[in-house]
């Protein structure tokens, strides 16, 4: 005679949900303002270049002198070049908003394949830090550093040169402000964890 024994059914396999990311605090007001200034810092120089191609007197360079660097002195190629250059610079500076907006924490849903996924904040901090270093070196050292060390045939500064400096000077703010906003974003998305005190 066999004794029938019953066994408890195997517990169903349960999936451990992924850890929930703690809510990110809102950005401070100063970081939001700094992001706006950084995003708009590329606009005046872009307008200056477009004015140059369109023949508006800018005082530093003549339109024909600028067009001479393009095949057949083509104004269409020159206009396309300055528009593309301006679009790239403004798009890059616009990304600063991602450090103070929700789409810097969660990918917008309209983006294919990635929409709705959390942003890799460590990668975002790295990219923004490299960007801040790059534009700081580009404008502070290479561009304006070159202007200050270049020999000037005329003493003083003309009205055209003042207009040129006024158009390009905001670019000096881009790198430092991007670095400051990146630091704020890092602090918000990577909070410092308290170290537990050792037991006595």
Tokens of 153: 């045939």
Q: Which residue has the tokens 């191609």?
A: 53
pLDDT band of 110, cuts 50, 70, 90: confident
11 neighbors 164 (Cβ within 8 angstroms) = no
**What whole-number distance in Å separates Cα of residue 20 and Cα of residue 18?**
6
Given CA atoms 120, 126, 128, 134 in this order, what sign does their dihedral have? Answer: negative
Q: How many CB atoms lie within 10 A of CB 183?
A: 16
What integer best gives the mean pLDDT of the chain? 83
Single pTM value for the model: 0.79
Dmax (CA) of the chain: 116
pLDDT band of 127, cuts 50, 70, 90: very high
Tokens of 38: 């950084």
Residue 121 has pLDDT above 90, yes or no: yes
Residue 194 has pLDDT above 50, yes or no: no
pLDDT for 52 equals 86
The number of helices, as runs of H, and strands, as runs of E, in the chain is 8, 0
pLDDT tens digit string along 78-95? 888 889 999 999 999 999
pLDDT for 95 equals 93
49 neighbors 86 (Cβ within 8 angstroms) = yes
């Amino acid at each position: 005679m066999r004794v029938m024994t019953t066994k408890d059914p195997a517990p169903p396999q349960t999936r451990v949900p992924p850890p929930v990311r703690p809510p990110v605090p809102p950005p401070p007001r100063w970081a939001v303002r700094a992001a706006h200034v950084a995003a708009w810092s590329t606009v005046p120089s872009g307008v200056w270049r477009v004015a140059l191609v369109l023949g508006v007197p800018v005082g530093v360079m003549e339109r024909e002198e600028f067009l001479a660097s393009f095949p057949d002195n083509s104004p269409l190629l020159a206009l396309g070049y300055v528009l593309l250059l301006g679009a790239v610079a403004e798009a890059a500076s616009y990304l600063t908003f991602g450090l103070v907006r929700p789409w810097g924490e969660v990918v917008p849903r309209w983006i294919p394949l990635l929409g709705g996924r959390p942003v890799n904040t460590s990668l975002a901090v790295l990219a923004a830090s490299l960007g801040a270093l790059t534009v700081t070196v580009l404008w502070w050292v290479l561009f304006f550093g070159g202007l200050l060390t270049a020999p000037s045939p005329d003493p003083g500064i003309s009205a055209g040169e003042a207009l040129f400096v006024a158009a390009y000077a905001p670019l000096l703010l881009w790198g430092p402000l991007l670095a400051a906003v990146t630091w704020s974003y890092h602090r918000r998305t990577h909070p410092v964890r308290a170290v537990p005190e050792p037991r006595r």
